[in-house]
Structure 1
Amino acid sequence: MKVLIFGASGMVGLGVLRECLVAADVTQVTTIGRTPADTSLFRRDRMDAGFNYAVSHKLRQVTHADMFDYAAIEPLLAGYDACFFCLGVSSLGMREDDYARITYDLTLAAARTLRRLNPGMRFVYVSGASTDSSEQGKTMWARVKGRTENALLGLGFGGAFMFRPGAMIAMHGVRSKTLAYRILYPVLGPLLPLARLIWPDQILTTELIGRAMLEAARRGAAKGVLESPDIRRLAAGGT
């Protein structure tokens, strides 16, 4: 299986990148972004002792400045089985039109190009808990995310799956690029494992999300929109 990852330098993107690199059935993984993913962040442990992520024969990192236009690199985007789209920004302090440009316009620019080049591709989009599929709610970011999800589901991919994770625990050295998350995580992070014991279906790890995304790429899923409990089941081999 050959996969593309957009946003591999972010927390979820790094998580799925690591799972792709250690998965035996993934023969090639290509990252697309303004900056390459820092694979040195991955912590060595018993599971992957001696594995050199940075020089893995199946990793190819493509640096691309204009994430709204892919004409210059189209030959590099053809021939893939799946795409994991993990790009996103916080809506804090943003106007709706600015947030929509980065969330909706940027995502659809990539997705429409990939649909044309890889019509049978499975496309996994990282959305968020409480996304508004009606596109009519009061919360700006939720409306925009809902509009983005609906557009992706209607593009006609071989499969399109909207992941809506909530709280996440970063594993294997993965960390968020979002400043607010990096400030809050040292404070709230130690409480997340306890919260996971109380609400096991609602607290996910970057490893678990990555594994679920790979399962969606391999076999698909029972529905197009997956909340945290659905993601957990998919990672465990369910649908």
Structure 2
Amino acid sequence: MTGATGFVGGEVLKQALEDSSITGIMTLTRRPLGVTHPKLEDVILQDFLDYSRIKASLKADACIWCLGVSQTAVSREEYIKITFDYAVMAARAMFSENPHMRFCFLSGSRADQEEKSRVLYGRIKGRTERELGGLSPNVYHFRPAFIRHTSRTFTAHPISRRISIC
């Protein structure tokens, strides 16, 4: 998975660590997460456009791609690089190692595969979905409209923090 230091990715990681049906989790990250768990492995990757050094680590059953940034936090060029280039290069590298894997891309409700959206993130998330979808039938897009922090806890999965994805 990617984006484990972010809001959504952090929660995905936490849930995956608690899920007994998941036997191993590998995170692609620029720096160690600082989390220790028997089924967690950090793979440090300085360049999200070059997977040649970690090819052996890419033989996964699935990837949950949560890596991202707000379009207002970086330049247009940097947003495209992080949103489109990183995801597409990773998917290509991963599918070359396991063509049957599943690639789950965290997109957004305004993603527009025709790139006619008025907002940059809608066009670029849509472009990314379209490109990823052309790589394999095993690509899934998740388009939350709104994500908020809640403090609810559930007895089936006791955790201190949950997010709601609408």
| TM-score class, shorter | 0.7 to 0.9
TM-score (normalised: structure 1): 0.61
1:75 aligns with 2:56: yes
Superposition deviation, residue 95 in structure 1: 4.2
Distance 1:94 1:9, change over 3 A: closer
Aligned to 1:29: 25
Amino acid at match of 2:122: A
Question: Is contact 1:96–1:141 with CA below 8 Å preserved after alignment?
Answer: no
- Structure 1 counterpart of 2:78, from 81, 98, 107: 98
Cα-to-partner distance string for 1:184-203 (whole Å, 9 max, x where unaligned): xxxxxxxxxxxxxxxxxxxx
Percent of aligned pairs sharing the same letter: 36
Superposition deviation, residue 18 in structure 1: 1.1
Superposition deviation, residue 143 in structure 1: 0.4
Cα-to-partner distance string for 1:40-96 (whole Å, 9 max, x where unaligned): xxxxxxxxxxxxxx2x21111111111110100111111x11100000011116443
Cα-to-partner distance string for 1:21-55 (whole Å, 9 max, x where unaligned): 1111111101111023344xxxxxxxxxxxxxx2x
Higher relative contact order (CA 8 A, sep 6+): 1
List runs of 5+ in structure 2 lacking aligned partners: 152-158
Aligned to 2:45: 64
- Structure 2 counterpart of 1:155, from 96, 116, 135: 135
Q: Give the aligned length.
A: 158
What are the residue-to-residue correspondences of 1:128-167 with 2, within 5 Å? 128-157=108-137, 159-167=138-146
Q: Which has the larger radius of gyration?
A: 1
Superposition deviation, residue 133 in structure 1: 2.2
Q: State the 4+ residue runs in structure 1 displaced beyond 4 angstroms.
A: 171-174
TM-score (normalised: structure 2): 0.86
RMSD over aligned CA atoms reads: 1.9
Whose helix proportion is higher, 1 or 2? 1
